[in-house]
Amino acid sequence: MSDAQTQIQETVSGSDVVLFMKGTKEMPQCGFSSRVAGVLNYMGVEYSDVNVLADENIRQGIKDFSDWPTIPQLYVKGEFVGGCDIITEMTLSGELDTLFAENGVSFDKDAADKIREANG
């Protein structure tokens, strides 16, 4: 399992924003992954996606790595942020904007505002 942990650590350290998900950002394979990828895509965030369905060691390894039982999982600057419910909540409250801004991650503020308007 240490190989998976090493690979995960290198992945989260190698990109500013990483989404471990079922499927890919172009073709999510579950509703929760689709929701988080959709938010990031709509906000124009550059991020790496890791399809956990392609590797069982990564699929289990990411749960162990974060001590979080579900997928998707979002990492910003190497730090675990949360899963679908947390990302949805942070998007609607504006906390995700703040997190991105504080970490120098570019995103479309107007798009983020539109998400909040549509769900307000």
pLDDT tops 90 at residue 2 = no
Report field, pTM of the whole predicted structure over 0.75: yes
Binding site annotation covers 84? no
% of the chain at pLDDT higher than 70:
99
Give the dihedral sign, CA 53/97/106/109. positive
Domains in the chain: boundaries: 2-119
pLDDT tops 70 at residue 1 = no
User: What is the average pLDDT score of the chain?
Assistant: 96
pLDDT per position as a tens digit, 19-69? 999 999 999 999 999 999 999 999 999 999 999 999 999 999 999 999 999
Rounded to an integer, what distance in angstroms lies between the CA atom of residue 30 and that of residue 26? 12
Structure tokens at 3: 């190989």
Query: In the CATH hierarchy, which top-level class contains the domain 2-119?
Result: alpha beta
Rounded to an integer, what distance in angstroms lies between the CA atom of residue 112 and that of residue 58? 30
